[in-house]
A and B are shown apart, each in its own frame.
Chain A
Amino acid sequence: MAAAITARTHGLSVLVLDEQPSAGGQIFRNIESLEATRNSEFSKLGQEYEFGSSLVRRFKKCGADYFTDRSVWQIDNNLQIHHVSASASKSNSVISHCQAKRLLIAVGAMERPMPLPGWTIPGVMPCTAVDVLYKSSGLIPDGEVVLAGSGPLLLLIGCRLLDVGVHVSAFLDTSMNGALLKALPLLPNALRSHKYLTRGLSLLWKIRKAGIPFYSGIQNIEALGASKLEKVRIGKSGKFFDVTADLLLLHNGVVPNVQITRNLGCEHRWYDVQRYWEPIVDDWGNTSVDHVSIAGDCGRVAGAAISEVSGHLAALETVYQLGVISKVERDNLSQPHRIELARQKHVRPFLDKLFQPSKTWLVPENDKTLACRCEEVKVSEIRETVRMGIKDPDSLKSMTRCGMGYCQARMCGLTVSEIIAEEKKISPEEIGYFRVRSPIIPITLGQLAEID
């Protein structure tokens, strides 16, 4: 939205393709409707929401063409973009194309998959799923909820659930021992914006004050149930005990959604602190592919405020690259954004270090755990195949089917990177990643052939 606004300010013709039915992305999901029809909840979501709402209003007025409900399934080398309805019944929605001079990818982030035994049982979900259901549909969990994982988002969602009266029967903290100590060297920076810190700590205090059973140093979590979740088995210091649960909400950090940047052939690097792949970009969001830039959490994950700033900067770069402003003008116009970036950016290293994902939850020890949900490929099969001498993900994919399913490795890509890295004792960067091919999301053969 920010990029569109800035690009429009300088007279560029802008088309925004959004897979969702309304503006706001993940954080400000369904914000217009919330403000209009569920105002009491809207005001409870906090000051950021007011801000998000104003951004959406400015976006809607800026003159960009805004197509909702559009999924991009192919991007050609010459930046012709092929898109289709995200929601219409597959057989009767038609493909559309558009030609771009420059492309900005701002598809945001997703939850890091947190594989554990039983994680495919209905009733196990990433914690942001309840956030989506709450914002888009006004639903809250009914029944016993267990929260498991680590990270500020889990704490935030935990608090929201408590505020609306959801029964949280346990909080399983999987954050690494000594995490706070490791992050302390970065503390002075972080304290410049202490409200993040204090907010996080107050969330933790709130959860504990509510008397919710809080377990840290958890080594094992297993979801159990016949056709849906019935209980969660917890292992700590060699002892196991069960907690009844209807919903198990997981969180092990937020990672960039690199499906499209991978598909485009952008170079990526491995960000070791937070254990994820991110596209390699310069200060303006330019990727290694000509005329393609990124903004927001589909690159280094940094939250809403920085995402917005990166959007403005990427747009200014685009305006300059298309010859509408000079380099000097671009640099001058970017100044306020750079200052804002500097102001906001310092807290991130602290949070990234504090909430580093721990190895236990990246490379499942229990070999029976499914690494690939779509094709049901166990961690053990992947390990065996790597031991046979296969170390590149695409060969692994041919041999095991891992990554061949509908999600095209979105849910297993990081797990595979971690397993191969652990087996071969090298960095994921040396291993590489799956080749992400078209279609980026499934389309019908009829749509591809462009017949009725």
Chain B
Amino acid sequence: MIKENAEVVVVGGGVIGVSLAYGMVKKGAKVILIDKVDNRLTASRGNFGLVWFQGKGKGMPRYVEWCIEAIERWPEFAENLETETGFNLNYEKTGGLEICLGEEEHQERVNFIEEMSQASRSGRYDCEMISRKELQGMLPKIKLGKEVSGASFCSHDGCVNPLNLLKAMNSSFQQKGGSFRPEQSVQKIECSSNDFKIETGTHSFNAEKLVIACGLMTTKLARMVGMKVSVIPERGQILVTERTSRVFNYPTAGIRQNYDGSFMLGSSHEAVGYNIETSYEVLQNIAKRAIRILPSLKNLQLIRSWAALRVLTPDQKPVYLESDQYPGAHAITSHSGVSLASIHSSILVEWILEERIPLGFTAFHPKRFNVQEAI
């Protein structure tokens, strides 16, 4: 058994784990980051790369504010990473669209934006409806389909290269003295009064603080340190086309044109367990919708498809928890790890290292699910 010590051990090498580890070494902490052996099912590697808040947080105003704050921090966060590592994140904060087909979708969207604006306590919920005409005006190089009725536009939204983000954070983490230990799957966690001993097959890691941010495995590991965190997998399928000249300069949740010119099209939301197969029907539906929105896409060649599993809490909003039974152990799970990377690496790190609890933080406690169950 190889023994290693640190102030903090972070379990989980995906976007959330790495952003936390990165933020911590920037504060001078000694951190070991562990990543599991089988990397196939990770949400971080099967990611659309949106840096987004439009449409998030319905029913949890605190989360809406959290997302807005994350987005506001993103440009500086990206710049720092690029300067530190030389990786190009291709972060584009152009504003983002949700395009509506037909009148019913349009009305639904209008209602939604209205509700979100009213619920936003800070008044910072900044998203507006635009007409079909205005939308076409924003897209001079490509024609909208006949059924496009309009869109919602949020100037804060954008997109990034999610893989470069992961690589950059990991690289900077290591450059600043962090220890990255891949191919380590946690088998046992021993808790004593002042530290945690995390055992994998070959290593034993000792630390005062423990952060569990390992996606779908969070439930199992959190239980080892007295925390109840439930997450379920949700499959999303994506199509990727050949590269073509750039004509679509705003990301949407279902269509974006990457920096290299290829289009990524999605998505689906399927409860199929731990299954990352692609299916003809779903891919066909994605293609059909994309063509209804942008008819000229029909001539683009599809090169590949993929599927990945999202990690979802019962209300699809973050869970940030410290163990009551074993203080010092934390569990962090969230959808939107990319969008929240800027705030995870700053405010959440302050919570973990310095016990600075953000305002309204109890909103993220999983006891909110008990309340819902009671009702």
- A interface, CB within 8 angstroms of B: 74, 76, 82, 90-91, 388-392, 394-395, 398-399, 404-406, 408, 437-439, 442-446, 448-451
Contacts and interface: CB of A to CB of B under 8 A. Distances in A.
Contacts of A443: 301-302
Contacts of B141: none
Most chain-B Cβ atoms within 10 A of its Cβ — which of A408, A438, A439, A448? A448
B35 to A, nearest CB: 7
A74 B281 CA distance: 12
A445 B297 contact: yes
Contacts of A408: 303-304
Given A437-B305, A437-B306, A445-B241, A395 B280 contact: no
B278 A437 contact: yes
A91 B303 contact: no
A263 to B, nearest CB: 10
Contact of B280 (A438, A444, A445): A438
B167 interface: yes
A445 B39 contact: no
B217 interface: no
Contact of A448 (B170, B182, B284): B284
A76 B281 CA distance: 10
B287 A445 contact: yes
Interface in B182-238: 182-183
A91 B305 contact: no
B45 A395 contact: yes
B134 interface: no
Nearest to B298: A446
Contacts of B239: 445, 448
A448 B39 contact: no
A398 B301 CA distance: 21
A435 to B, nearest CB: 8
A84 B180 CA distance: 47
A399 B180 CA distance: 16
Contact of B302 (A390, A392, A444): A444
A438 B35 contact: no
Interface residues of B, number: 36
Contacts of B301: 90, 442-445
Contacts of A391: 183
Contacts of A437: 278, 304-306
Interface string B10-47: 00000000000000000000000001001110000110
B29 to A, nearest CB: 22
Given A445-B239, A451-B291, A404 B40 contact: no
B300 A445 contact: yes
Contacts of A445: 239, 241, 265, 287, 290-291, 297-302
B278 A438 contact: yes
Nearest to A387: B182
A389 B182 contact: yes
Nearest to B162: A398
B291 A390 contact: no
Given A82-B280, A449-B288, A444 B300 contact: yes
B242 interface: yes
Nearest to A403: B304
Interface in B231-263: 239-242
A182 B136 CA distance: 70
B167 A439 contact: no
B167 A448 contact: no
Contact of A395 (B40, B241, B302, B306): B40
A444 B39 contact: no
B283 interface: yes
Those 8 A-B pairs whose CB atoms lie nearest each other, nearest first: A389-B182, A446-B298, A395-B39, A398-B45, A449-B287, A442-B301, A448-B287, A449-B288
A347 B188 CA distance: 54
A251 B62 CA distance: 63
13 contacts: A82-B280, A90-B301, A389-B180, A389-B183, A398-B46, A406-B303, A408-B304, A437-B278, A439-B305, A444-B300, A445-B290, A448-B284, A451-B291
Given A445-B290, A449-B288, 5 more contacts: A388-B170, A389-B180, A405-B303, A445-B291, A451-B291
Contacts of A390: 39, 182
Contacts of B284: 448-450
B163 interface: yes
Contacts of B302: 439, 442-445, 448
Contacts of A399: 45, 163, 167
A236 B64 CA distance: 67
Contacts of A82: 280
Contacts of A394: 39-40
B242 to A, nearest CB: 7
Contacts of A439: 302-305
Contacts of B35: 389
Interface string B109-124: 0000000000000000
Contacts of B38: 392
Most chain-B Cβ atoms within 10 A of its Cβ — which of A91, A398, A443? A398
Contacts of B183: 389, 391
A317 B179 CA distance: 57
A389 B301 CA distance: 34
Contacts of A404: 240, 303-304
Contact of A91 (B283, B288, B299): B299
A323 B239 CA distance: 40
Nearest to A409: B304
Contacts of A444: 298-302
Contacts of A392: 38-40
A33 B288 CA distance: 42
Given A394-B40, A395-B40, A398-B163, A448 B303 contact: no
Interface in B155-189: 163, 167, 170, 180-183
Contacts of B298: 91, 444-446, 449, 451
A395 B36 CA distance: 12
Contacts of B305: 437-439
A408 B278 CA distance: 16
Interface in B315-370: none
Nearest to A265: B277
Contacts of B300: 444-445
A348 to B, nearest CB: 35
A91 B304 CA distance: 18
Interface in B271-300: 278, 280, 283-284, 287-288, 290-291, 297-300
Contacts of B306: 437
A91 B306 CA distance: 23
A169 to B, nearest CB: 38
A98 B213 CA distance: 46
B42 to A, nearest CB: 8
